[in-house]
Structure 1
Amino acid sequence: MARKFCILGKEILPGQSVELSMDVAKLHTHTPVQVPVFVERSLKDGPILLLMAGMHGDEINGMEIIRRVIRKKWNKPIAGTIVCLPVFNIFGYLNLKRELPDGRDLNRSFPGSKNGSLASQFAYQFMSQIAPNVDIVIDFHTGSAQRSNIAQIRCLLSDPVSMELAEVFSPPFIVHSGYISKSVREALNKMGKKILLFEGGKTNSIDETIVEEGLMGIQRILNHFHMKSFKLEPVENDPIIIKSSKWLRAPLSGVFHSEVKNGQYVEKGDLLGFVSDPYGSSERKIKSNSNGYIICTNEAPLVNKGDAIFHIGSALNTDKIKETE
């Protein structure tokens, strides 16, 4: 007997293809704002996978990844069910802003409440109507502002199931990340769900390299769970596992020039870049204070003193250091 599957108050039968909407709020004009949710269920039972993006309205890479999944019809499984939520924070997306109109970060509002702030209502609807009905979640993000992340999966290294899934996804980097209070990762973990957080690129842009990494990872996950059957080339290099990381900050305000690339291995004392004044009278060199990989770079041309400019990650096994250009 087929497993019963309901989402957003609707039962999805085997073989059904359904477009639903999560209704949370209205615009000032009383026009309802609907969050589209695409559901594809196979005739054959299997895992229920949720692909979601747009938690922050200006993080476009993840939305583009899921758009291409739908366009390519990869979301039509041969077993199990695939749920696609391409644009979660529809308010932020309309304004190309990270936050909701109330200024709150949706990813710091979980599990939410029915009658709370707008962000809290969004979180509540997701946690009550969608989250209980899925098995695995892949949440797509980018770096904030002008900070560009190398393609990476963030998860808890001590969680063997999450690590197995991260290694199946096989991004260039797997970064240890604890659960942040009131984030969707923390809320889903408490619910007993497995979630991978993909990070790549920066806001308000589409980076083809990042999009391709995301698409390849999704293909590997779908193959792993026998939800699709893609012919894939073997992965050339295992992901580099980052056990810890720290930010290097701008020593003063000025024009920022980077001398390194995302993913590059650096050693303590290496020149990473410099900050200058706009008049050519002074420059301040920025040198690495540790050995590790550059997993995020600030691409802003102007920085203020204290701005995060390089995120340097220490590899779990330094004996297996490899260059990633």
Structure 2
Amino acid sequence: MARESFEIGPVRVRAGRTQSLSLPITRLVTGAEVDLPVRVVHGREDGPTVWINAAIHGDEAVGVEVVRQVLADLDARVLRGTLIAVPVVNVLGFMTGDRYLPDRRDLNRSFPGSARGSLAGRIAHLLMTEVVSKCEVGIDLHTGSDRRTNLPQVRADLEDPRTRELAAAFGAPVMLHARLRDGSLRSAAREQGATVLLYEGGEAWRMDPWAIEAGVRGVRRVLAALGMTEPLADEPPPRSAVSWRSGWVRARGTGVLHLEAGLGERVEKGQRLGGLFDSFGKRVRLVHADRDGIVVGRTEAPLVNSGDAVIHIAEVEDGAEDSVG
């Protein structure tokens, strides 16, 4: 017997079909409608229902390209289960390259939202009711913020066996245990019983090819691990370094920053990571690692002030590679 059609918003998607639709969000002062773009790939065969989303923060472009490439490789006629893709959640922010919504609210602190709340709350509520509530697993795609770049990594509740299994299947260089934050999509989805992975990779408002590639391959591996697609034929899943703690090294002075440590580099406590210089090139302070671990994030700002976050180091379990970049 054929699978039943998949219902979302005003649309019913037949098994073996892919369909795009728009879910209304709000109306601009010009009278133009602002909609949430959604694409549903409803496989012919039974399987899990999974969502992927990007650009909850409007300046995060990497995930949008990850979604595009993943969708380009999927065929509803052979897919087992259903994939719901939302390439741009913060539509208004994405159109202007702004991380936040016009009212300066952070959408990823506004879940589960409310149908009669703020604009952020309404978008959150729409995503929760039309997408997340229908799914068992979700992958939330992000990048670094505020002139920071991140090593490809999965942040998830590694104490949950199912979540850790899928995080390992993703195969990012690092999987980092991350607590749930109130108001985040990951927290709200977990309350509804979904397993959620948060992918971080690259820099805001850039199309970093290495972060896109890692995201695309990771999503494909998760779909294969769920039995929705065939496994990738050209490689075994890479082993991710596991981290339970991380922290930012902060500048202990103000100056022009020159970093010597790159993403994925294994560093030791006390190791020199770079230095701060004045405008004439005189060294003001050195930057040193405050722990052993792997560099999973770094600032790209040329000028830093005392107290600014400079390098993000994740402590890793024994057996991690010297470099995972």
- TM-score, length basis structure 2: 0.95
CA distance 1:157–1:43, shift in 2 (3 Å): same
3-state DSSP of counterpart to 1:59: coil
> What's the % identity of the aligned pairs?
35
CA shift, 1:4, in A, is: 5.7
CA distance 1:74–1:101, shift in 2 (3 Å): farther
CA shift, 1:280, in A, is: 2.5
CA shift, 1:127, in A, is: 1.2
The amino acid across from 2:94 in the alignment is Y
Q: Distance in 2 between matches of 1:175 and 1:79?
A: 29
Q: Distance in 2 between matches of 1:75 and 1:251?
A: 54
Report if aligned partners of 1:137, 1:195 keep a CA contact under 8 Å in 2.
yes
Which has the higher mean CA deviation after the structures are superposed, 159-168 or 77-86?
77-86
The amino acid across from 2:92 in the alignment is F
Residue in 1 aligned with 2:197? 196
Residue in 2 aligned with 1:68? 69
Describe the superposition over 1:140-171 as per-residue Cα deviations: whole angstroms up to 9, x where unpaired. Answer: 00010211110000001111000000011111
Residue in 2 aligned with 1:153? 154
CA shift, 1:320, in A, is: 3.9
Q: Distance in 1 between matches of 2:120 and 2:218?
A: 29
CA distance 1:18–1:319, shift in 2 (3 Å): closer
Report if aligned partners of 2:18, 2:41 keep a CA contact under 8 Å in 1.
yes
Residue in 1 aligned with 2:117? 116
Q: Distance in 2 between matches of 1:46 and 1:3?
A: 12
Q: Distance in 1 between matches of 2:78 and 2:54?
A: 20
Q: Distance in 1 between matches of 2:320 and 2:247?
A: 20
Report if aligned partners of 1:40, 1:76 keep a CA contact under 8 Å in 2.
no
The amino acid across from 1:100 in the alignment is L
The amino acid across from 1:67 in the alignment is R
Q: Distance in 2 between matches of 1:230 and 1:288?
A: 39
Report if aligned partners of 1:113, 1:123 keep a CA contact under 8 Å in 2.
yes
Residue in 2 aligned with 1:81? 82
1:323 aligns with 2:323: yes
Q: How does 1:135-150 map to 2 (within 5 A)?
A: 135-150=136-151
Describe the superposition over 1:115-151 as per-residue Cα deviations: whole angstroms up to 9, x where unpaired. Answer: 1111011001111222111121111000102111100
Describe the superposition over 1:279-303 as per-residue Cα deviations: whole angstroms up to 9, x where unpaired. Answer: 2233310111111111101111111
- TM-score, length basis structure 1: 0.95
CA shift, 1:191, in A, is: 0.2
The amino acid across from 1:163 in the alignment is R
Q: Distance in 2 between matches of 1:149 and 1:321?
A: 18
The amino acid across from 1:177 in the alignment is A
Q: Distance in 2 between matches of 1:81 and 1:260?
A: 42
The amino acid across from 1:10 in the alignment is V
What are structure 2's unaligned runs of at least 5 residues?
none
Q: How does 1:1-325 map to 2 (within 5 A)?
A: 2=3, 5-73=6-74, 77-235=78-236, 237-315=238-316, 317-325=317-325
3-state DSSP of counterpart to 2:114: coil
Describe the superposition over 1:28-50 as per-residue Cα deviations: whole angstroms up to 9, x where unpaired. Answer: 21100112100111111111111
3-state DSSP of counterpart to 2:44: coil
Q: Distance in 1 between matches of 2:37 and 2:201?
A: 23
Equivalent residue pairs, number: 324
Q: Distance in 1 between matches of 2:179 and 2:298?
A: 21
CA distance 1:234–1:129, shift in 2 (3 Å): same
Q: Distance in 2 between matches of 1:72 and 1:320?
A: 32
Which has the higher mean CA deviation after the structures are superposed, 35-44 or 2-11?
2-11
The amino acid across from 2:88 in the alignment is V
Report if aligned partners of 1:8, 1:130 keep a CA contact under 8 Å in 2.
no
3-state DSSP of counterpart to 2:244: strand
CA distance 1:235–1:261, shift in 2 (3 Å): farther
3-state DSSP of counterpart to 2:46: coil
Report if aligned partners of 1:38, 1:84 keep a CA contact under 8 Å in 2.
yes
CA distance 1:302–1:323, shift in 2 (3 Å): same
The amino acid across from 2:268 in the alignment is E
3-state DSSP of counterpart to 2:108: helix
Report if aligned partners of 2:43, 2:76 keep a CA contact under 8 Å in 1.
no
